[in-house]
Amino acid sequence: MFGLGPALFYNVLPDKYWSHFCKLVTAIRIFYQRSITPAQLVAAHRLILEYCQDFELLYYQRRSSRLHFCHPSIHALPHLAPEVARVGPQVYYTQWTIERTIGNLGEEI
């Protein structure tokens, strides 16, 4: 999704949805770099905030009857930049490493 998605969805999605998706992709690509400059972190945080605001307007239109479209993962996005500033790039502490280790240990048993 984050690698080929922008190219595959170009001219497939309407422009407003494609540009909305690209904001998320750009920010996530920055968050998963091995080293991030403060300027990149600020830019990624701005893109995430714009993405979340646009998500509210595009998908659930701030209506309580459509709130089920807003998943907790969307709520968690604005917290990424402060966490990267606090503990470092996500590539070093995401859960995938431990999940893979648990899977390997399960195979060993």
- DSSP classification of residue 57: I
Q: Supply the pLDDT for residue 20.
A: 93
Count of domains forming the chain: 1
pLDDT digits (tens, 9 = 90+) for 50-103: 999 998 888 877 777 777 767 777 778 888 888 888 777 766 666 666 677 777
The DSSP annotation for 3-25 comes to: SSHHHHHTTTS-HHHHHHHHHHH
Range of the domain at 64: 5-108
